[in-house]
Chains A and B, each alone.
Chain A
Amino acid sequence: MTNTAAAARYVGQSVKRLEDPRLVTGHGRYVDDIVLPGMLHAAFGRSDLARATITRLDTSAAEALEGVHAVFTGADLNSHNDSLRASLHPPESPAPPANMLADGDVRFVGDPYVMVVADSRYIAEDALDLVEVEFEPLDPVVNYETAAESDDLVHPELGSNLAHDLPVPNPAQEEAFADAAHIITETWHQHRQTNVPMETRGIVASWQPHAGVMEVWASTQSPHEMQLVGARVLGIGEHKIVVHFGDVGGGFGQKMFLGREDMAVLVAAKLLASPVKWIEDRRENLLASNHARIEQMTVTMAVDEDGNFLAADLDQLEDDGAYPLGGPATPGAMATMLYPGPYRMGPVSWRARTVYTNTCGRGAYRGPWQMESVAREQMIDRVAREIGMDPLELRRQNVLKPDDLPYQVSTGLFFETTISPEQTLEQAAEMIGYDDFRAEQAKAREEGRYLGLGMALYIEPTSMGMGPLGTESAMLRVEVDGHVNVFMGTGSHGQSLETTIAQLVADELGVRPEDVTLHQGHGSGYGFGTGGSRSAVIAGSAARAAASGVRDKVVAIAAHLMEASADDLEVADGVISVKGTPAASMTMAQVAATAYQNSDALPEGMEAGLEHTARYKAPPSTHSNACHICTCELDPGTGKVTLLRYVVSEDCGVLINPMVVDGQIAGGVVQGIGGVLYEHCVYDESGNPLASTFLDYLVPTAAEVPDLECGHVVVPSDTPGGHKGTGEGGAIGAPPAVFNAVADALAPFDVYPNRQPLDPNAVLSLIASASDS
């Protein structure tokens, strides 16, 4: 390294987004905008029954319809795949059968059993109406609480509905329980929700016979997962799949992995040797993409007479549905490991189980393990109530303070010194005006009005550095005209990476953000993509390192050409100049032109060209933290909850673009608000989903959400830029904060809510239960 590192000009600024001009004018390029010559359209026929045997399936009438090119069943397609395994799923680990289309029986409502490929989507759906199918219904497994004991098996091949059972006893926990002043138990329930990206899933696949190349345009968070799994499905080399990455209309975890439909489209495109497009419709998205948060955790906490946490015992149960998106995983185990969070919790023992049911499969949804914060923060409010302490004081007493750090958690986690839970707790309490609110609340209660305050404090393990998640690469090239192209394995789908990566590169290299173009997808080096709050730390550090490598060369070339000492040069906004003598300067374009087109003028022995590739390996985890506090008013007549104020104090380390950080937090918070108060993928007892449109599945609108106030505590992480991930945090902190606010508002009724959603019906039922008792 030379000693010419640039001062931060753009990092830390709310730089306007480079992606916006095309997006606000309708010139984005999403997957449904792709049109290829001869392109056909796919539609899937899906089961209306939760569990049934297919006794007859006749596709002849559908095949005979004009404009239909093929009708595929499971028997046609499933034999054409080599493996459907997601990269995070170990090959030796048990999994549901690897089928793209149901074959012989259906296992949830929405299970695809037939695929029509036709000249248009309209014709494809006409043909689905002509498919003749008969089912013999079987008793479905719908209730996940009893699924493990049921004799009815979701996947008979696996011999059990229990997907995982991980007990981790801890004798120290039992000892701590023996002498505790208080032992408090509750089971906390979350309910079935789904990601709802505004753009549904979709893919266009085009096979080039003889070349043996599959070209893919996909709505994905991970172009390389699409490439690797696509290659496994088709049994071809990774180099034979070209994944084009365009604009992606949100994902929140749903587009991290390939769905069975994506795989079916790949196989169909190869069999037909015609481009095939599939765009999921909203009904399919709500019923059959993925669901999440169907889980419960029974928590028992031991607390001494002064309110100090002594130990905890946890029992987590989660519903994987029938075909979990991305394979059966164990976020429940992570939820239990993370339960101690930002507190001195003492020894913890835990058990985490996952079961299969005849419902839509579980998938990653923004903070997939956030049950740890839900259960813990709701439990802390409960403990406070049981032992007669103020919930803020109870948190203050047990929160990890700077003197406690670094901190080894009994579950195996390790917190470095760069977390700041106490600081965010205090900042949020000050922002909301805690004492003033309590006074206002007391006065309101005297007037018969029900105000509530809820808070949640958490630590988020971001940018996890293990396995396929561990690294990202950046290939950076200054072109002949001085413009900078960066090729990365990310999959920005709203996170603003075209801008934030450009800001990082601009500072490191000494150019303007608009001089930098991020290219994702084909041509980039392997990376897991965008999800898991990982892009700022992992991709950002790779981009920074690549830019740094090129900067050294830029300075060396300029010093040589200008006959100056490299130490005397500075690079800013694309101009290399002698410090203190701005007239003595040259442009990035002049340096680049020399590097490529006049390489004889380079310093002796220097390689021609101006490019550098760097790969960054992340530490096991980079922890961010935050505190959410919100207030609400509850109408006991209608059960309606109105949020009054919402404050977040967060620490994501060094902010690259504060506007983008606040935007990520706001989006997550509103998903959390929606989850607790409005959204619910309801199933009836026979496994029939009742929320299949946006009239039933209630995503919050602008009229339901308050203004969000964001405060920032900045403790830089130990990673190169000092950043920490922040994409998921809003959706982790909001559910328990909102839940606790509603529970607090209900406290005068002496009721103890323990499950979501807290919609008007639930609130009125709680109030009624109080009057009954």
Chain B
Amino acid sequence: MADQIPLSMTVNGRARRGAAEPRLTLADFLREQALCTGVHLGCEHGVCGSCTVLMDGEAVRSCLLFAVQADGAHITTVEGLAPDDETLHPVQEAFRDCHGLQCGFCTPGFVVSVAAFLEANPDPSDDEIRHGIAGNLCRCTGYQGIVAATRQAAAVLKGEGQ
């Protein structure tokens, strides 16, 4: 077995120290060592987006990165978005309000992607929303509720209310 390389990163605000084989993916590290099982693996080849997390504020596919590449990074997963156990992040609230999820498997990746997308583009048109979230796959909703949720979250984050 290959050598274990020590690494440390900040995951959802908590320092995590661990060790990983060079080939261990960031997704597997986050799931198995940081216990962030909200990081979902839908394809493991970088297309479906279910494993999307924020690395130093930028949305990345954790199945396409090795854990060692994230050494020293600040990672935010879907578990790290809500301010506390009783409150949802506006994007999460919007997904619930708009039926932006059914089975929920792709949802963590969508929620993180939408949060990053609205950070970069706080006032998107519908067309920009559709293309902005086209890097994530959902098989249940037909995207109707997801587009609506993104619209709602944009309004809330801009302070326009729902």
B109's nearest neighbour on chain A, judged by CB, is A198
Task: Assess whether A693 is interfacial by the CB under 8 Å rule.
Answer: yes
> A27 to chain B: which residues have CB within 8 Å?
38, 79
Task: Report the 4 A-B pairs with minimum CB-CB distance, sorted nearest first.
Answer: A26-B38, A249-B105, A23-B104, A666-B142
A674's nearest neighbour on chain B, judged by CB, is B139
> Which stretch, A345-353, A493-501, A601-609, touches the partner chain B?
A493-501
Question: Which residues from 68 to 86 on chain A have a C-beta closer than 8 Å to any C-beta of chain B?
Answer: none
**Beta-carbon contact of B143 and A670 below 8 Å:** yes
Contact with B along A128-172 (1 / 0, CB 8 A): 000000000000000000000000000000000000000000000
**Beta-carbon contact of A250 and B103 below 8 Å:** yes
Task: Assess whether A430 is interfacial by the CB under 8 Å rule.
Answer: no
Interface majority SS (helix, strand, loop, mixed), chain B: loop
Task: Assess whether A33 is interfacial by the CB under 8 Å rule.
Answer: yes
A24's nearest neighbour on chain B, judged by CB, is B92
Evaluate whether A196 and B139 lie within 8 angstroms (CB atoms) in the complex, with A694-B47, A694-B48 already known.
yes
Task: Assess whether B11 is interfacial by the CB under 8 Å rule.
Answer: no
Within the assembled complex, what's the spacing in Å between the Cα atoms of A669 and B95? 20
**Beta-carbon contact of A199 and B143 below 8 Å:** no
**Beta-carbon contact of A24 and B101 below 8 Å:** yes
A residues whose Cβ falls under 8 Å from a Cβ of B: 14, 16-17, 19-21, 23-30, 32-33, 35, 66-67, 122-123, 196-200, 247-250, 252, 279, 281-282, 493-496, 659-660, 662-664, 666-671, 693-695, 699, 701-703, 705, 707-708, 730
**Beta-carbon contact of B111 and A24 below 8 Å:** yes
Within the assembled complex, what's the spacing in Å between the Cα atoms of A701 and B20? 34
Q: Which of the residues B103, B111, B142 comes within 8 Å of A248, measured between beta carbons?
A: B103
B147's nearest neighbour on chain A, judged by CB, is A702
Evaluate whether A26 and B137 lie within 8 angstroms (CB atoms) in the complex, with A198-B48, A249-B104, A663-B99 already known.
no
Within the assembled complex, what's the spacing in Å between the Cα atoms of A707 and B37? 32
**Beta-carbon contact of B95 and A694 below 8 Å:** no
A121's nearest neighbour on chain B, judged by CB, is B28
> B77 to chain A: which residues have CB within 8 Å?
26
A703's nearest neighbour on chain B, judged by CB, is B134
Within the assembled complex, what's the spacing in Å between the Cα atoms of A29 and B31? 12
Within the assembled complex, what's the spacing in Å between the Cα atoms of A662 and B103? 15
> A33 to chain B: which residues have CB within 8 Å?
31, 37
> A668 to chain B: which residues have CB within 8 Å?
142
Interface majority SS (helix, strand, loop, mixed), chain A: loop
Q: Which of the residues B1, B88, B103, B136 comes within 8 Å of A494, measured between beta carbons?
A: B103
Smallest beta-carbon distance B101→chain A, Å: 6
> A705 to chain B: which residues have CB within 8 Å?
142-143
13 sample A-B contacts, Cβ–Cβ < 8 Å, listed by A number: A26-B36, A198-B140, A199-B42, A249-B104, A279-B41, A281-B44, A282-B43, A282-B45, A282-B48, A494-B103, A666-B144, A667-B139, A702-B133
Contact with A along B18-31 (1 / 0, CB 8 A): 00010110000001
Task: Assess whether B106 is interfacial by the CB under 8 Å rule.
Answer: yes
B104's nearest neighbour on chain A, judged by CB, is A23
Task: Assess whether B130 is interfacial by the CB under 8 Å rule.
Answer: yes
Evaluate whether A494 and B102 lie within 8 angstroms (CB atoms) in the complex, with A26-B78, A282-B42 already known.
yes
Evaluate whether A702 and B104 lie within 8 angstroms (CB atoms) in the complex, with A670-B142, A694-B43 already known.
no
Smallest beta-carbon distance B17→chain A, Å: 20
Task: Assess whether B50 is interfacial by the CB under 8 Å rule.
Answer: yes
Task: Assess whether B124 is interfacial by the CB under 8 Å rule.
Answer: no
> A248 to chain B: which residues have CB within 8 Å?
103
Evaluate whether A25 and B92 lie within 8 angstroms (CB atoms) in the complex, with A694-B48, A708-B144 already known.
yes
Within the assembled complex, what's the spacing in Å between the Cα atoms of A198 and B147? 18
Q: Which of the residues A279, A667, A693 comes within 8 Å of B43, measured between beta carbons?
A: A693
Q: Which of the residues B43, B81, B97 comes within 8 Å of A25, measured between beta carbons?
A: B81
Within the assembled complex, what's the spacing in Å between the Cα atoms of A398 and B47? 46
**Beta-carbon contact of B137 and A20 below 8 Å:** no
B97's nearest neighbour on chain A, judged by CB, is A16
**Beta-carbon contact of A30 and B43 below 8 Å:** no
Known pairs A27-B38, A249-B105. 5 more at Cβ < 8 A?
A33-B37, A198-B50, A247-B103, A282-B42, A663-B142
Smallest beta-carbon distance B139→chain A, Å: 5
Q: Which of the residues B44, B105, B134, B145 comes within 8 Å of A250, measured between beta carbons?
A: B105
A708's nearest neighbour on chain B, judged by CB, is B144
> B78 to chain A: which residues have CB within 8 Å?
24-26
Evaluate whether A699 and B139 lie within 8 angstroms (CB atoms) in the complex, with A16-B96, A24-B95, A26-B38 already known.
yes
Smallest beta-carbon distance A151→chain B, Å: 39
